[in-house]
Structure 1
Amino acid sequence: MYIPTEDKVLEMTPTDFEKYSLQVLNTQCHGLKNYIIQHNKIIVTSDGKYQIDGYIEFEVMGVKYKTLIECKHYKRRIEREIVQTLYDKLRATGTQKGILISTSNFQTGSIQYATEHGIALIQLTESGNHCVTRSLNMITNRAGITPSNFGSPYVGVLLRSKKQGLITCSYLTF
């Protein structure tokens, strides 16, 4: 099952989608001080150059945290290999966290791999009068339920794999 995405997001160019995704993440950074968000960052390491769609850096207690963001403006489900590529970039660049943002949903294997390796998966979706729940064997669409974050409509679903094949969701607001 495909969770609906707003037409305006689907009609964006891949570059505009990257910028929009970073705007959504920027709204989630409330409370952080001295943070930076960059689009289209090039990171040079001893084994080469890496182009990153988005980059967030912030400092807490004198420790600098770095996050890589990859954005996929796809109509097909995100495969495990795409998540693995992001994980390889994390290791090569010495970055602490990875976030993969997509217009489409994620294959079960990609959700499991991301959960095992600490990568956040976010599907930008359409806020509406529905809620989708999913386990390994089934997907349920519940009409009449509108997920929200403290009264604000959601724009993204953060997916996590749990034991016994369950996938949990958190909702991002804009």
Structure 2
Amino acid sequence: MSDGKDYEKFVKDLQQALLDSEKFSEQKNIEIEANKKIIDNFGIEREFDLYWEYELAGVTYKTVIECKDYASRVSIEKIDALIGKTRDIPDLKPVFATKTGYQSGAEAKAKANRIDLLIVRKQRDDDWEDKDGNPLVREINIEMQILPCPRITNFRPRIDGNWAKENTNLDPSTKLISSGMNNEIFIEDVANNDTYSLYDLAYRLDSKANGEYGDLSHTETFQEAYFLNNGLRLKMLSYEVDFFRQKPIINPINIDFSKELVGVIEYLHKGSSTAIFKDRIIKDWK
């Protein structure tokens, strides 16, 4: 048996998360107090591990929880002690919490005195099984394969010189400069009714790699196609393109739901349990 302080905080954190999730808590800030001292009808100061209260429809509801971090089942004497502490304090709802369980006599005595019994604990392996023993999804492993787009390193269009001579005023003695972003330089494939940029071409090259990686090249010939850039339109016979194709990036992903499960509250009087996760609460967990 420990001094119980860590367990009291554990119970408090789970119960606070549960209270915060309730609809009536959206309008009321309910705070759980630890080591709450209450004066009974005879002026005797009684101390309880946890206490909270709230008002609903003009009625104040008060609850106390006694927390026992026992390795063995709670005996009837502990229930008797709680009954003695709460008998002379009106309108107080007593609750008992432990991590292991209760002796049969303790359960019977608690039921007769309307004391709710809780088992508040860390998760167990059987929490990840349904009532029939079938496994629940506890962990998911994903191997994500990221396929980087091929990167064009050189693009060499072959222009139809005869067409350019007959259809443009370009001076063959001067150097033609064509520049632009890869989404500003286009190939117009008239025969196939297809127009695409060098940016688009980079994605298409993936299917031209024949499963190879590294520095690769590809040649495409046309029946009728044009090179388009900044108002320039030149008939193109073919192009050669050099590109680099990187191997897939393997990124293993592990999703372990058990790491998100903070604790479980079993309600013996209802025969149900609630799972408290870091980001959500699942009632009727089992």
TM-score scaled by length of structure 2: 0.45
| Alignment partner, residue 28 of structure 1 | 18
C-alpha distance in structure 1 between counterparts of 2:268 and 2:135, whole Å: 18
Moved more, 41-50 or 63-72: 41-50
Q: Post-superposition shift, 1:81? A: 1.5
- The AA in structure 2 aligned to 1:171 is S
Q: Post-superposition shift, 1:115? A: 1.5
Q: Post-superposition shift, 1:98? A: 1.0
Q: Post-superposition shift, 1:93? A: 1.8
- The AA in structure 2 aligned to 1:32 is F
Given the alignment of the two structures, is residue 69 of structure 1 paired with residue 65 of structure 2, yes or no?
yes
Given the alignment of the two structures, is residue 156 of structure 1 paired with residue 258 of structure 2, yes or no?
no
- The AA in structure 2 aligned to 1:50 is R
Secondary structure of the 2:39 match is: strand
Distance 1:13 1:84, change over 3 A: closer
C-alpha distance in structure 2 between counterparts of 1:76 and 1:142, whole Å: 27
- Matched residue count: 143
Distance 1:86 1:15, change over 3 A: same
| Alignment partner, residue 52 of structure 2 | 56
Q: Which runs of 5+ in 1 are unaligned?
A: 1-9, 132-140, 147-151, 161-167
C-alpha distance in structure 2 between counterparts of 1:61 and 1:40, whole Å: 28
Secondary structure of the 1:27 match is: helix
Q: Post-superposition shift, 1:43? A: 1.0
C-alpha distance in structure 2 between counterparts of 1:76 and 1:96, whole Å: 27
Q: Which runs of 5+ in 2 are unaligned?
A: 137-259, 277-286
Q: Post-superposition shift, 1:49? A: 1.0
Distance 1:106 1:99, change over 3 A: same
Moved more, 53-62 or 108-117: 108-117
C-alpha distance in structure 2 between counterparts of 1:86 and 1:22, whole Å: 18
In percent, how many aligned pairs have the same letter?
A: 24
CA contact (8 A) 2:54 2:62 kept: yes
| Alignment partner, residue 150 of structure 2 | none
Distance 1:157 1:80, change over 3 A: same
Moved more, 51-60 or 121-130: 121-130
Q: How does 1:117-156 map to 2 (within 5 A)?
A: 117-130=113-126, 143-144=133-134, 155-156=264-265
Q: Post-superposition shift, 1:142? A: 6.5
Q: How does 1:75-86 map to 2 (within 5 A)?
A: 75-86=71-82
| Alignment partner, residue 38 of structure 1 | 33
| Alignment partner, residue 273 of structure 2 | 171
CA contact (8 A) 2:265 2:274 kept: yes
- The AA in structure 1 aligned to 2:264 is V
Q: Post-superposition shift, 1:96? A: 2.8
Structure of greater Rg: 2
C-alpha distance in structure 1 between counterparts of 2:110 and 2:6, whole Å: 25
